[in-house]
Amino acid sequence: MFKLVSVIFFIIMASGCHGDWWETMQLYQIYPRSFLDSDGDGIGDLKGIPERLSYFDDIGVNAVWLSPIFVSPMKDFGYDISDFYKIAEEYGTIDDLKRILTEAKKLDIKILLDFVPNHSSDQCEWFQKSIRKEPGFENFYVWHPGRENPAGGRRLPPSNWVSVFRNSAWTWHPVRQEYYLHQFLPEQPDLNYRDPNVVAEMKNVLRFWLSVGVDGFRVDAIPHLVEVDVDATGNYPDEPLSGATDDENDYSYLEHIHTREREETFSMVYDWRKTLDDYASETQTSSKVLLMEAMSDVDIVMQYYGNATHEGAHFPFNFLLAFLNKEAKANKLKQSIDEWFSKIPEGRVTNWVAGNHDQPRLATRYGPERSDGVVMMAMLLPGVSVTYQGEEIGMENFYLSYEDTQDPQACKDGPDMYNITSRDPARTPFQWNTTKNSGFSDADKTWLPVADNYLTLNLDSQLKAPASAYKMYEALAQLRRTEAIQNGSFQIEALNDDVLVFTRTSGFETYVVVINTDKDNLTVNLRSKFPNLDNDLIISTTSVKSPKIPGFVVSANNLELVGYEALVLRSIS
Ligand code: GLC
Ligand code: MG
């Protein structure tokens, strides 16, 4: 069905393709551990993916990013890598990855991997060698003897720096008799980019996976890559207090002027970009992309795009929609979209992320009744859209007991506080159908429990239902293929406190997205802010609960909306 419709669209558009493959891609984040378990151990794996690639094709996805699949003690579920060149046994083998690449190629779906350059696992051979100061590995990590303790006894940590996951960012190592730095868990020691051996090794990692055939990388936790060097006296400077909290073990206790987004970090990104570009030109293959994960101020994030002299990342993720929630009314949404547009360097590609494996689920943050409008935004705003596994069926947070909780960030907070920081509620297994474990796994116990709403919220039921989150997503994916959404002009306005409207226009075709962020019914005049709009607009796609029917006509200057309704309207003039 999708194929047929897209063929028709293609004929209507007639104008063929533009730009490079990634510039308007619909990127989907797979969290492999929770996607599909093919061997019944309760843990998702790679073998399950090829048979589901056609699913992505159905929903228009043309690029997939896999969260880390490498050998890891799983202290931070793969973001603690002990062998950067090998796939974790519980996920499969390199042949399983190659199968994914082969099958994906047939469907013209690009595959990206997660690149975690800031740290390794403490179980990594490199760290073990560094502990023993083996030749070539002496400075592979950030080691320091610490400050003298005026009271005598063990030396004190080199500085007051705090880890993102709480407590000192320095841990004493009894064998090397020195402190080592870790921006995340003590089991995730930071690699030292002042050591040319590290720089060379990590480029090698990139080249290795490129040679296996992947199309690019999502780069993890990039702001933390390089810290300030020691001063003339051989010491690290403390960071000033931020005043945000009295809790000295909390990351926000300090202003991170010495440990985030240093010039050396941006230079490294520019260098990696060159590594990827060189690889693509040497092998005469399509562009290999670099996407940055940077949770920082937008002004700083923009620097990852590069500058006049250097190409940087293809884009840094735009998390502005991922940080908002049900409080955000029309103006707030507009502001956050405007912010990205006003700060993006000339000629660069925009992108929209409304959720990922680190944030509460989109449907829970905005409320299930409002999430359809946010999905419309992520799918129809200019540039790249990013979908986190499960968003296309409106999966919600599932709150786990403390006993079932796995996220290290939450386990540290104890039974009373864990649900505030836990990322597990957004990581539960994909809800495929109404069978055991929602079709995710045959195991009696899955690594995280399946959300208890799976009997009513699952892909299979949504495929059968006349209206569902899935059906809406599928329709939006079809719209994405039109010239207006791929390349059309863009205008956005808040009609009032409650209603956000944006248009995408190409030639005679305009799509109008109308989102009511309020619970009450209201009537609006779209032409008050969009005077050039036709009065008669055809309903193209609606939020799941909308009473309106696609194909019918509504009036632009007298448009009635029910509470939380979201619509895509179309005019051809
Ligand atoms: C990134 C990942 C997160 C991980 C952290 C440390 O923020 O998205 O899941 O815990 O980096 O690697
Ligand atoms: Mg498995």
Distance, in Å, from the CA atom of 396 to the CA atom of 399, rounded to the nearest integer, reads 10
Mind listing the pLDDT tens digit for each residue in 537-563?
Answer: 999 999 999 999 999 999 999 999 999
As residues whose CB is below 5 A from the ion ligand 2, the structure lists 37, 39, 41, 43, 45
Distance, in Å, from the CA atom of 395 to the CA atom of 368, rounded to the nearest integer, reads 9
Decide whether any atom of ligand 1 lies within 6 Å of the 76 Cβ: yes
Which H helix or E strand runs over 272? helix 263-283
Q: Which residue puts its alpha carbon closest to atom 11 of ligand 1?
A: 221
Decide whether any atom of ligand 1 lies within 6 Å of the 220 Cβ: yes
Q: Which residue puts its alpha carbon closest to atom 7 of ligand 1?
A: 221
Decide whether any atom of ligand 1 lies within 6 Å of the 221 Cβ: yes
Token pair, residue 100, equals 């994914």
Distance, in Å, from the CA atom of 316 to the CA atom of 399, rounded to the nearest integer, reads 30
Whole-number pLDDT of residue 7: 40
DSSP 365-377: HS-HHHHHHHHHH
Indicate the residue type of 548.
K
Report CA(84)–ligand 1 centroid distance (Å): 16
Q: Which residues are catalytic?
A: 220, 293
Token pair, residue 242, equals 């931020």
Pocket probe for ligand 1: among 67, 79, 181, the residue whose CB has the most ligand atoms within 8 Å is 79
Q: Which domains does the chain have, with CATH numbers?
A: 20-117+196-230+261-464 (3.20.20.80)
Contact 355, 361 (CB under 8 A): yes
pTM, 2 dp: 0.95
- Distance from CA of residue 25 to its chain's centroid? 14
Mind listing the pLDDT tens digit for each residue in 344-372?
Answer: 999 999 999 999 999 999 999 999 999 99
Decide whether any atom of ligand 1 lies within 6 Å of the 184 Cβ: yes
Pocket probe for ligand 1: among 76, 389, 406, 422, the residue whose CB has the most ligand atoms within 8 Å is 76
Where do we find the tokens 């997660």? 114
Whole-number pLDDT of residue 15: 40
Distance, in Å, from the CA atom of 25 to the CA atom of 60, rounded to the nearest integer, reads 9
Decide whether any atom of ligand 1 lies within 6 Å of the 217 Cβ: no
Strands 110-115 and 63-66: parallel
Whole-number pLDDT of residue 14: 37
Contact 258, 237 (CB under 8 A): yes
Residue segments in the chain with a per-residue pLDDT below the cut of 70: 1-18, 573
Phi-psi label, residue 33: left if phi above 0, alpha if psi -120 to 50, beta otherwise: alpha
Report CA(542)–ligand 1 centroid distance (Å): 35
Q: What percent of the chain has pLDDT above 90?
A: 95
**Ligand whose nearest atom lies closest to the CA of 37:** 2
Whole-number pLDDT of residue 24: 95
Pocket probe for ligand 1: among 183, 184, 219, 386, the residue whose CB has the most ligand atoms within 8 Å is 184
